[in-house]
Chain A
């Protein structure tokens, strides 16, 4: 991550004591609602202002939507549909999600109904995760610090606040898990009818006394699933970034400790950068695995609502 420059800029601006914890949290959390990128008036007490993470979501959605649609359209326009280039990769992902993630869980009958949702979840989460690894705004920060010299409350300055990984924010993952939650209900309703779906929540033909225990447990389970999805994705995305940022903080800690920038740069080159590179490589695996786990669990839960086993 080219985070160093940005942090250096921040450290230069605030010449006082370096607070690692505060800096790290500021770099993984959303930009504060008090200083949104675009201010939108509140509706029914909810602040709809466009913060950094909202912007990241839009960038990811626009990128995914435009690229995927363009590639598929161009591919389908051919006289003889022969996949080539990027289409090969996309087709591999589509077939993998359909044949390995969705179909074994949901079944052949419903596979094509639920593949679009799971596919979108997979690609959207994957791209949002990956976007967090790319230090785009740090480049804006460097540009602003040395070239643009904008005012303290400019759009460029506001862009710098907050982390770039939208999926590290549990509000975002909670929203995605909510979509899974409703997808489960819709899947069960479509397969069995509304009433039957809720009856399927607990096994039939047990002693009536057991239902007093079972119904609350199953209802709790219903809510625990999306909660687990929410926390798993957000925590995993936050964790890796915090590790990288903590390691990079050594640079400023040592610079402060020895009262000289050389000490910080030496520690940075010898320890921080190699370690950060290693963890970034690990993060590439994590972003793939987390996108996979989220979409796989969504498919599993939808499958459980369709094929009720007790």
Chain B
């Protein structure tokens, strides 16, 4: 055992154990312990942050979906309102047109009747005037007074002749 490579050295052995144990104790207390605790807590923090982010994302997606739904609903309602007012306007226009036409028709009809009435009356008047005129002329010509009956008979005869002439 003269080779220094394989010489047992209990002093060195014990020094190594002492040195190493002191190092382990110091590092475990001041370095590894706090560091491992911090790593665990950071791991937890990162996990929580990711969870929060995921939750926020889901919430945002939900809100986005909601807003899209609201816009869609609004568009549908607007379209319904527009189409309803369009049909209302059409109907109103038609109604007014109809009413105006009816009024115009009634006006024309009443005017026609009036005209007919007036015409008839005018004709009658003219006839009477003519008769009176004829009678006056005839009496002047005849210079005599015919009896009332003669008068009437003459009138009727003349009228009939006129009537016949008109036909």
Is B5 a contact partner of A175 (Cβ separation < 8 A)?
A: no
Alpha-carbon distance A54/B9, docked complex (angstroms): 11
CA gap between A172 and B80 in the complex, in Å: 92
Contact partners of B22 in chain A: CB under 8 A: 61
Task: Report how far A57 CA is from B21 CA in the complex, Å.
Answer: 12
B19 near A68 with CB under 8 A, answer: no
Give Cα A75 to B39, complex, Å: 12
Name 4 extra pairs, CB < 8 A, besides A68-B27, A75-B35, A116-B28. Answer: A46-B10, A46-B14, A51-B11, A94-B39
Q: Which of B1-46 contact A (CB under 8 A)?
A: 3-17, 19-24, 26-28, 30-36, 38-40, 42
Within 8 A of B (CB), among A47-64: 47-51, 53-54, 57-58, 61, 64
> Taking the complex as formed, is A150 at the interface, i.e. its CB lies under 8 A from any CB of chain B?
no
- A124–B23 Cα distance when bound, in Å, is 9
Q: In the assembly, what is the distance between CA of A290 and CA of B155, in Å?
A: 160
Q: How many residues of B contact A (CB 8 A)?
A: 35
Q: Measured between alpha carbons, how far is A70 from B151 in the docked complex, in Å?
A: 157
B17→A179 contact, CB < 8 A: yes
Residues from chain B with Cβ under 8 Å of A29 in the complex: 3-5, 7
- Docked-complex contact A120 and B32, CB < 8 angstroms: yes
A 81-128 contacts with B by CB, 8 A = 81, 91, 94-95, 98, 112, 115-117, 119-120, 124
Q: How far is the CA of A57 from the CA of B19 in the complex (A)?
A: 7
Task: Give Cα distance in the complex from A49 to B4, angstroms.
Answer: 16
User: Which residues of B have CB within 8 Å of A308?
Assistant: none
Are A54 and B27 closer than 8 Å at their CB atoms? no
Q: Cβ of A115 and Cβ of B36 under 8 Å apart? A: yes
Q: Across the interface, which residues of A come within 8 angstroms of B34, CB to CB?
A: 72, 76
A238 within 8 A of B: yes
A60 CB, nearest partner CB in chain B, Å: 8
Does A201 have its Cβ within 8 Å of any Cβ on chain B? no
From residue A132, how far is it (CB to closest CB) to chain B in Å?
14
